[in-house]
Structure 1
Amino acid sequence: MASTTGKKQAKKDSQLIIRINTKERDEFVALCESLDTSAAREIRRFIRTFQKEHGGN
């Protein structure tokens, strides 16, 4: 079981479906794996950063 660092994690209860070129997707997933992370984690990180930079919640 994963431990938390004191922050209560929000429940992930929604999906965002995007269409992407197969080659780009495969390269992105492979790069994430080589960096010991997941594609989903990096996309969530991008969304949070984008919201902070552009005045989102």
Structure 2
Amino acid sequence: MDTKEETLKALSEGKELTSTVTGLKYKLIEGLLHSRDSERAQWQRSGLDFHNPISWQNLRH
């Protein structure tokens, strides 16, 4: 994603975003960011924050 705002908007619209670096998927559940990898069926609360560009520039939907 190009901007932090674009990333947050996509998540708030219910989209799942995938990191091109780690392959982890991210989505908002009850307003909290969660992640999972391709081998895990359950979502876990994520520690990812959006304080630096690397955290959102590698996400795609």
Whichever structure has more strand as a proportion of its residues is 2
TM-score (norm 1): 0.21
Larger RCO (alpha carbons 8 Å, 6+ apart): 2
Whichever structure has more helix as a proportion of its residues is 1
Larger radius of gyration, structure 1 or 2? 1
TM-score (norm 2): 0.20
